[in-house]
Chains A and B, each alone.
Chain A
């Protein structure tokens, strides 16, 4: 079976009962997605499927043919960290770090849709990601700052695109 993971087509050997979490970690060696509770309580295994943050521990890999799967390994562009990742570092939002891949994925899914989330939006989006170090406040700060950064980057891109379009029209 072919899965589309981080914009690449990957062939996997499935018997039918493998969760996406198991396929990522055990077959593909993508251990950034964490195994923790394995019963949908903690959010450590969060990935993005078709732009929505979901739990890979309760997703059957077999059901994902044709879907766009993004894992923590696909968030940065080469060595350039995604604004969410950079912001987590800048704000000291990482303590033990175990929950962070899941936190990043839920944050990215939120900020991809909304660069200026309210505190309520952030809490709504992250209510399934548990941090046992209880470092939530810095995580919230990091998300807000990342949203601003993403908005700046988007505005910059739009203005470059606008300039290029004007040049072409003239």
Chain B
């Protein structure tokens, strides 16, 4: 057997899941399974003890689906990456998510992995982290007697730990802002996002405004480069800024363990992301 024995639970509702979660003691929530089940297999291979109880969220209909209204996009936590990629609701600032989903792992994984699992499995390679921070995404959790709302940025800054159940994400529509996402693949086929950069800015004036720069290094959770944001917010929207911006990086947030290639590719990602925004400004 690939896995150690487990007690398997498959609740049909969120309240049933919460009740199990609070009563079972040592247990894990199972979303798409693409991370958790592989982790459990690995632990078994190493002869290590694994969690005795698994609560699958797969059959909870209220945790699936994507809805939108003029102001907000709501993504339920058990929505698969494929369903998000295929959603007709990814317009305006939400459109960046389509590009991001396209690059997540493989089709077989995208069909199984969920948005909620991607964010809460404490897997630093989560591809959605950087764009969701740039989009000011809020995460909505429920516990037995509590409700909690935090931004993805706050969640990651606190180590992506929670004892509650993520029900959905909400993102405000912003027709004025533009987003660019650039990433480097480790391999052309099976890959993880070795590194990526997402930049959001409002380009309606001569200067970058309300800019957010979020870096995903793969080895730590996605983080904002505040120094670069401040530099860009003082800068005019022109091509020369893309090179100049590289002298204004907050080097403390980039992965210092990375080799020269990786450091260089970060710079390429950031430069290309800025250039993409400059090009887009020209078309406005």
**A62 CB-CB contact with B under 8 Å:** yes
- Name the distance in Å between A117's Cβ and chain B's nearest Cβ: 12
Q: Which of A17, A38, A40, A124 contacts B109 (CB 8 A)?
A: A40
User: How far is B113's CA from A55's CA once the two chains are assembled, in angstroms?
Assistant: 11
Closest to B111 in A: A52
Q: Of the candidates A22, A58, A126, which one forms a contact with B107 in the assembled complex, judged by CB atoms under 8 Å apart?
A: A126
Is B54 a contact of A60 with CB atoms below 8 Å? yes
Query: Chain A 40-54 against B: per-residue CB contact (8 Å), 1 yes, 0 no?
Result: 110100100000111
A39–B107 Cα gap in the complex (Å)?
15
Q: Given the known A-B contacts A22-B1, A39-B38, A62-B8, are A106 and B30 also in contact in the complex, defined by CB atoms under 8 Å?
A: no
Complex CA gap A145/B88 in Å reads 29
User: Is the C-beta of A18 less than 8 angstroms from some C-beta in chain B?
Assistant: yes
Q: Does B182 have its Cβ within 8 Å of any Cβ on chain A?
A: no
Q: Which of A66-120 contact B (CB under 8 A)?
A: 106
Question: At the interface, yes or no: B7 with Cβ under 8 Å from chain A?
Answer: yes
Range for the number of chain A residues in contact with chain B: 20 to 34
B247 at the interface (CB under 8 A from A): no
- Chain B residues, CB < 8 A from A63: 8, 10, 30, 33, 56, 58-59
Q: Count of B residues near A, CB < 8 Å? A: 31
Q: Which residues of B contact A124 (CB under 8 A)?
A: 102, 107
State the CA gap A106–B106 with chains docked (Å): 11
B6 CB contacts on chain A under 8 angstroms: 16-17
The complex places the Cα of A120 from the Cα of B68 at a distance, in Å, of 29
- The reply to whether the CB of A125 lies closer than 8 angstroms to some CB of chain B is yes
| 3 tightest A-B CB contacts, nearest first | A128-B106, A128-B108, A16-B8
Question: Which residues from chain B sit less than 8 Å from chain A, CB to CB?
Answer: 1-8, 10, 30, 33-34, 37-38, 41-42, 54, 56, 58-59, 82, 102, 105-109, 111-112, 189-190
Binding site for B on A (CB under 8 A): 15-19, 21-22, 38-41, 43, 46, 52-55, 57-60, 62-63, 65, 106, 124-130
